[in-house]
Amino acid sequence: MKKLLALILVFCLLFSFAACGAKKDKVIRLATTTSVNDSGLLPYLLPVFEKETGYKVEVASAGTGIAIGYAKSGDADLLLVHSKKQEEAFIEEGYSSTERLSFMYNYFVIVGPEADPAKVADAATAADAFKAIAESKAGFASRGDNSGTHNKETGIWDSVEIDPTGEDWYTSVGSGMGDTLTKANELGVYTLTDKATFLSMKANLPNLKLLKEEADDMKNTYSLLGVNPEAEAFKGTDVKINTEGANALIEWLQGEEAAKLIEEYGKEAYGEQLFYLLKK
């Protein structure tokens, strides 16, 4: 018994050290949002990149807010996020080594209960839909986590001059997209989501229906930002940024091969394309 336990432990130790064996300059730390990782896009793209270049990409996926927090802490080499305002602030503060490299987009969609009490399906734009939800007090679940999706949502509320904070039909979940969808499903309320995450979870969301998509004000643009090793906040600290690796990944993601893969993604599993390329 003791021998067996010792053996398992030694095995585990060796295994964990082997995992640490990757060379530092071959590791790229990518901080990103849940929507491109949990929907399966990155797990589909990155192995191709890793095989071709020999880099190892470590993905920390969280909301855009915390992803940018990781980058500002010097713990990410590049960002793949979708929140224009936050990206522009990041650049303005001197954290970025590149401009805002927007390369793909998809659409946010509004999902909600099948009965559609606020008649969201008839609204022309997201702004109209939000107004209808507020007027009917039909219930809305918000990410509430300062993520790209949450910022998009607050932007729409601002555009119709409604402040839903504290209203009893408005639930601020404070969590990721998946968790928010699950809660909206349980509560039978509306929510704003990226389409890819919704489709990948649809089987577990029997009470939610896709009600509104592809309105002009629902475009969701994803951008790449390299982290600037010379940023003011990194002065005098021991921050190490793998700029070479980050640039290699940035270039590859904007290249032709990735473009083909991105356009194919989703067709097989969901019967439709989930991410579109921005024409340059």
Partner 1 sequence: METLKEAFSLIVHLDSELIQIICTTLVMSFFSTSISALIGIPLGVSLGKHRFPGRGALLRVTNTLMGLPPVLAGLVVFILFRSIGPFGSFHLMFSVPVMVIAQVLLITPVVTGLSASASASTWVAMRETALGLRLSGLKQTSLLLRECRGPFLSVILMGFGRSIAEVGAVSLVGGNIQFKTRVMTTAILLEANKGDFSKALALGIILMLLALIVNIPAYTLQERWK
Q: Where do contacts with partner 1 occur on this chain (CB under 8 A)?
A: 1, 5, 8-9, 11-13, 15-16, 19-20, 29, 34, 38, 43, 58-62, 70, 72-75, 175-179, 181-182, 200-201, 203-205, 233-234, 237-240
Angstrom distance (rounded) from CA 256 to CA 251: 10
Output the smallest distance, CB 158 to partner 1, in A.
28
Length of the chain counted residue by residue:
280
Angstrom distance (rounded) from CA 239 to CA 26: 16
Place of tokens 């503060």: 93
Output the smallest distance, CB 156 to partner 1, in A.
24
Output the smallest distance, CB 239 to partner 1, in A.
4
Closest CA to 52 of 262, 253, 188: 253
Residue closer to partner 1, measured from CB, 166 or 206 = 206
Output the smallest distance, CB 137 to partner 1, in A.
27
Q: For the purposes of burial, counting CB atoms within 10 Å of the CB of 248, is it exposed (0-12), middle (13-18) or buried (19 or more)?
A: middle
SS3 167: coil
Output the smallest distance, CB 12 to partner 1, in A.
4
Residue closer to partner 1, measured from CB, 36 or 129 = 36
Residue closer to partner 1, measured from CB, 65 or 74 = 74
Residue closer to partner 1, measured from CB, 130 or 176 = 176
Strand partners, 224: 80, 101
SS3 74: coil
